[in-house]
Structure 1
């Protein structure tokens, strides 16, 4: 199973760009526009949406208006999933007490330490909630791509069944850990490339949107293991 999920993701990515220089250019355009608009024009997200649908071979980059709408569906689902974490952060006043907490850490008096402890507890609890939500949200986003229904992205029962029938929760979490390890290797490669003037930076910029294809297919493979 591991070989299928990882190997297929690499093959899918390679086949999607092999001999198609224009697709690489369009991926860069989508990534650049999404970046400079701070995700308000989420064209790259829209392309990931199409990969999540399970289409093979990799979809073309066209119908830009549709890409925009699909990207915003991804944004909306992500935001809605993160609402519980945002509420917890607000309850603990993480955003409000951040400056005080940092000051408390440096002064060290009892009252200040209490402020810092509350801040630290809020950060830890929020982080745990984000991790749990992300496990469901990721499969929810794939389900969104496959059903084109925002409501289905929150069908927790169906998502749980999909994971349970496929890799199982331990297997699913294991693949997430594996993806993080691969991501760390990829980041290390980017840092090495960025040491090289100009050419290294250009190559790093090209690799970033291609990496999104790999991750999207990797996650889709995890979901489809339960089909």
Structure 2
């Protein structure tokens, strides 16, 4: 899976073109709007990989891609509410403990530290869950599918998906080393967005492929629910 993932971003005749477009969008994401386009494309990659695609989808239908990016952002925000809420709660608790002082203050501070641990665990769980949720949304064609935990359970508990989740950790280490080397020179710094987009697509492919293998989507055994839902194997559209 890792080997296929590393070759996937530049597969096909337009591999370099896609890489350059994605890199530009990544560099321009500070302007916000390109970030939604890039996220919409990420969902498209997840869906196509789940269907057994062997090369990244094209950058086209920009309007649909933008709307998909907005939906994906909402999904991530909803799932992120739990760790965010815990962070706010622990901040308030620790500040209250400092203000109260004494034994009561120490108790509040202890509760706050426990909240820190819980928020870290919750954040890890969210990072583990969101890619599967977005892939489910891409395959099904409906935003509500991202919150269908019953369907997601099978994927989340699979070894293939766990491997796809762990792989980015190793890739992130390599990416950080490469980034440090590249930023040492002006020319190298210009290559950073390209490397980042390359790794991002490789990781998304691994998530999508793991989903497809676990659910049978890649072999066509799973049919998207809902009338007219989904794209075909090469172009999954969300409603």
| Same-fold status (TM-score > 0.5) | yes
User: Do the aligned residues in 2 keep the contact of 1:9 with 1:221 (CA within 8 Å)?
Assistant: no
Query: Aligned-pair distance for 1:122?
Result: 1.4
Q: Which residue of 1 aligns with 2:196?
A: 208
Instruction: Report the Cα offset of residue 97 of structure 1.
Output: 6.1
Matched, 1:127 2:120: yes
Q: Which moved more, 1:207-216 or 1:129-138?
A: 129-138
SS in 1 for 2:78: helix
Q: Name the counterpart of 1:52.
A: 46
RMSD: 2.8
Alignment of 1:72-111 (within 5 A): 72-92=70-90, 94=91, 96=92, 100=95
Counterpart CA distance in 1 for 2:199 and 2:137 is: 21
Instruction: Give the equivalent residue in structure 2 for 1:194.
Output: 183
* Deviation, structure 1 residue 50: 0.8
What CA distance in whole angstroms lies between the structure 1 residues aligned with 2:174 and 2:109? 34
Instruction: Please say if residues 161 and 207 of structure 2, whose CA atoms lie closer than 8 Å, have aligned partners that are also in contact.
Output: no
Alpha-carbon contact 1:24-1:206 (below 8 Å) kept: yes
**Structure 2 CA distance for aligned equivalents of residues 11 and 24 of structure 1:** 12
Residues 13 and 210 in structure 1, CA contact (< 8 A), matched pair in contact too: yes
Task: Decide whether the 8 Å contact of 2:93 with 2:111 is kept in 1.
Answer: no
Q: Where does residue 12 of structure 1 map in the other structure?
A: 8
* Structure 1 residue 19 displacement after superposition: 5.8
- Distance change in 2, residues 1:41/1:12 (3 Å): closer
In the aligned structure 2, how far is the partner of 1:154 from the partner of 1:221? 20
Aligned: 1:185 with 2:174: yes
Aligned CA distance change for structure 1 residues 203 and 83 (closer, same or farther; 3 Å): same
Moved more, 108-117 or 185-194: 108-117
Q: TM-score, normalised by structure 1?
A: 0.79
Q: Distance in 2 between matches of 1:109 and 1:163?
A: 44
The normalised TM-score by structure 2 is 0.75
List alignment gaps of at least 5 residues for structure 1. none
